[in-house]
C-alpha cells in the first residue's frame, strides 16, 4: 500500500512539475524574438526632394523622362497630386519646379527637413524592421524603394480649399512596391511657418501636433503593413469589430518590426493620451457593447472610431473630451496583445496570427 502511495505521489509531483514548466515556458516566450541575420533585403532609399532641388533644367527633364520610361507614378503623384505642376510641357515643368524651391516658405520647410537626418543608421533601422517582418512571415513581400519628397503638405489640397488633416506622411504605390514619404510632415509642430498664413488656415492644430520626427520610422512601416499585409478586402466585413482586429494586427506587427519602440510611439499617442486610453479601456469596451456599435458598419461610426482627429467622438466626460483619436485601433491592439499573450509560442507565431479570424480574437477579449 505504501509503495502504491509513493508511486502516486511521484506521479502527482511529475504532473505538477510539468504543468508549472509548461506555463513558465509559455510565459517567457517572446513572440518578437527573431533572428534576421540570414534575411536578404534589397531596399533602396531615394532622396527625390534633393534631386529635384539641386538639378538644373536639363537634369530635371532627364529625371522626369527616367520616371516616365519606367512607367512610374511617383512624379505624377508628387507633381500632379500634391503640388500641381504639369509634367508634360518641358518649359513649364522646369520653371515651376525651380519656382517651388525658390519660395521663402518652401525654403523654411527645407530647413526643417534637414533636421530629420535620413542617414545610414536610419536606413538600417528601416531595413531591419522589414527584415524582422520577413523573418516572421517569409512569404510576405517587402517594399523595393522608399522615396523622400517635399510635397508642401499636398498644397494642391490647399488650392482646392480642402484641409490637409492627415498627419501621417507615408503613401504607398502598391504596384511599384514604393513608399513615398512626405518629409515636411515630420519637422515638428513648432516651426513658425505652420502658424502663419496660408498653411495655418488648412492645417489643424491637432494635425500639427502629429508632425513629430519620432513617428517617421513607424509611419513608413505602418503604411506598408496597412496596404500590403492587411488591406481591407472588397468582400470582407467592414464593421467596427473587424476593423478593430485588422488595425490591431497592423499595430502588433508594427511592434514586431520595432520591438524596442515605446508603446506610445507604436500607437502614435502622446504618453498622456496612451495613459488615458489604458485607464479607460474597460469603459470604452462597455460603451461599444452597450451602444451596440461592435457590428455597426456605417461610415460615420467607422470614421469616428478609426480616423485621425483631435479626439474620438462621444467619449466626453463632464462635458470634456480628453480621449485620444483612433480609439478603435487602440482597442484592436489590446485585443491582439491579449490574444497573443495566451497563444504565442514556438508553434504559434505572427504567421499564425496573420491568418487568425477576427471572431477568434475578439471572442477571447476580456478587458
Instruction: Indicate if 188 and 290 belong to the same structural domain.
Output: no
At 230, the pLDDT band (50, 70, 90 cuts) reads: very high
Distances (CA, A) of 37 to 41, 151, 254: 11, 36, 19
Q: How many domains does the chain have?
A: 2
Instruction: Indicate if 215 and 304 belong to the same structural domain.
Output: no
Give the three-state DSSP class for 268: coil
Distances (CA, A) of 270 to 210, 248, 251, 299, 317: 9, 18, 16, 27, 20
pLDDT exceeds cutoff 70 at 210: yes
The answer to whether residue 76 sits within a structural domain is yes
Helix pair 57-69, 90-102: axis angle to 10 deg: 110
Range of the domain at 347: 240-362
In the sheet where 170-173 sits, what is the strand order?
Answer: 44-47, 145-149, 178-182, 170-173
Instruction: Indicate if 173 and 305 belong to the same structural domain.
Output: no
Least confident of 90-94, 228-232, 242-246: 228-232
Instruction: Indicate if 187 and 261 belong to the same structural domain.
Output: no
The answer to whether residue 353 sits within a structural domain is yes
Average pLDDT, integer, range 183-202: 77
pLDDT exceeds cutoff 50 at 157: no
pLDDT tens, residue by residue, 31-84: 999 999 999 999 999 999 999 999 999 999 999 999 999 999 999 999 988 888
143: left (phi over 0), alpha (psi -120 to 50) or beta: beta
The answer to whether residue 23 sits within a structural domain is no
Instruction: Indicate if 201 and 74 belong to the same structural domain.
Output: yes
pLDDT exceeds cutoff 80 at 302: yes
At 10, the pLDDT band (50, 70, 90 cuts) reads: low
Instruction: Indicate if 194 and 50 belong to the same structural domain.
Output: yes
308: left (phi over 0), alpha (psi -120 to 50) or beta: beta
Among candidate residues 167, 198, 229, the one where a domain is terminated: 229
Strand pairing report for 170-173 and 178-182: antiparallel
The answer to whether residue 222 sits within a structural domain is yes
Among candidate residues 174, 202, 229, the one where a domain is terminated: 229
The answer to whether residue 36 sits within a structural domain is no
pTM of the model: 0.88
Instruction: Indicate if 211 and 252 belong to the same structural domain.
Output: no
Across all residues in the chain, what is the average pLDDT? 88
Q: According to the model, what pLDDT value does residue 235 have?
A: 62
Average pLDDT, integer, range 175-202: 82
Q: According to the model, what pLDDT value does residue 8 have?
A: 61
Q: Tell me which of 167 and 277 has the higher pLDDT.
A: 277
- Judged on CB neighbours under 10 Å (0-12, 13-18, 19+), 21 is exposed
| C-alpha cell belonging to residue 267 | 500607437
Instruction: Indicate if 221 and 266 belong to the same structural domain.
Output: no
Q: According to the model, what pLDDT value does residue 105 have?
A: 84
pLDDT tens, residue by residue, 332-367: 999 999 999 998 888 899 999 999 999 999 999 998
The answer to whether residue 350 sits within a structural domain is yes
Question: Going by C-beta distance under 8 Å and a sequence separation of 6 or more, which residues neighbour residue 26?
Answer: 345
pLDDT tens, residue by residue, 252-296: 999 999 999 999 999 999 999 999 999 999 999 999 999 999 999
Instruction: Indicate if 285 and 185 belong to the same structural domain.
Output: no
Amino acid at each position: 500500500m505504501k509503495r502504491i502511495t509513493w508511486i502516486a505521489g511521484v506521479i502527482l509531483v511529475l504532473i505538477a512539475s510539468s504543468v508549472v514548466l509548461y506555463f513558465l515556458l509559455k510565459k517567457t516566450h517572446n513572440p518578437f524574438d527573431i533572428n534576421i541575420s540570414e534575411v536578404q533585403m534589397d531596399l533602396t532609399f531615394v532622396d527625390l526632394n534633393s534631386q529635384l532641388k539641386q538639378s538644373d533644367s536639363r537634369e530635371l527633364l532627364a529625371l522626369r523622362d527616367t520616371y516616365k520610361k519606367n512607367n512610374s507614378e511617383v512624379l505624377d503623384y508628387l507633381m500632379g497630386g500634391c503640388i500641381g505642376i504639369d509634367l508634360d510641357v518641358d518649359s513649364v515643368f522646369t520653371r515651376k519646379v525651380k519656382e517651388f524651391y525658390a519660395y521663402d516658405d518652401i525654403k523654411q520647410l527645407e530647413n526643417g527637413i534637414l533636421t530629420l537626418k535620413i542617414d545610414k543608421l536610419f536606413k538600417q533601422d528601416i531595413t531591419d524592421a522589414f527584415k524582422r517582418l520577413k523573418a516572421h512571415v517569409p512569404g510576405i513581400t517587402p517594399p523595393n524603394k522608399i522615396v523622400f519628397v517635399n510635397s508642401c503638405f499636398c498644397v494642391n489640397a490647399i488650392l482646392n480649399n480642402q484641409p490637409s488633416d492627415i498627419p501621417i506622411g507615408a503613401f504607398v504605390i502598391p504596384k511599384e512596391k514604393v513608399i513615398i514619404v512626405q518629409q515636411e510632415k515630420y519637422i515638428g509642430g513648432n516651426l513658425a511657418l505652420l502658424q502663419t498664413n496660408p498653411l495655418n488656415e488648412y492645417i489643424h492644430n491637432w494635425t500639427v501636433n502629429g508632425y513629430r520626427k519620432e513617428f517617421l520610422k513607424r509611419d513608413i512601416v505602418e503604411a506598408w503593413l496597412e496596404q500590403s499585409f492587411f488591406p481591407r478586402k472588397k468582400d470582407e466585413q467592414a464593421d467596427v469589430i473587424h476593423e478593430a482586429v485588422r488595425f490591431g494586427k497592423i499595430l502588433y506587427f508594427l511592434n514586431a518590426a520595432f520591438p524596442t519602440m515605446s508603446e506610445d510611439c507604436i500607437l502614435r499617442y502622446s504618453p498622456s493620451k496612451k495613459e488615458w486610453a489604458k485607464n479607460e479601456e474597460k469603459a470604452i469596451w462597455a460603451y461599444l457593447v452597450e451602444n451596440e456599435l461592435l457590428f455597426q458598419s456605417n461610415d460615420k461610426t467607422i470614421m469616428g472610431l478609426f480616423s485621425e482627429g483631435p479626439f474620438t467622438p462621444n467619449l466626453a466626460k463632464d462635458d470634456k473630451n480628453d480621449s485620444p483619436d483612433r480609439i478603435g485601433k487602440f482597442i484592436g491592439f489590446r485585443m491582439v496583445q491579449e490574444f497573443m499573450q495566451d497563444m504565442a509560442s514556438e508553434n504559434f507565431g505572427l504567421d499564425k496570427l496573420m491568418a487568425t479570424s477576427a471572431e477568434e480574437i475578439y471572442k477571447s477579449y476580456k478587458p
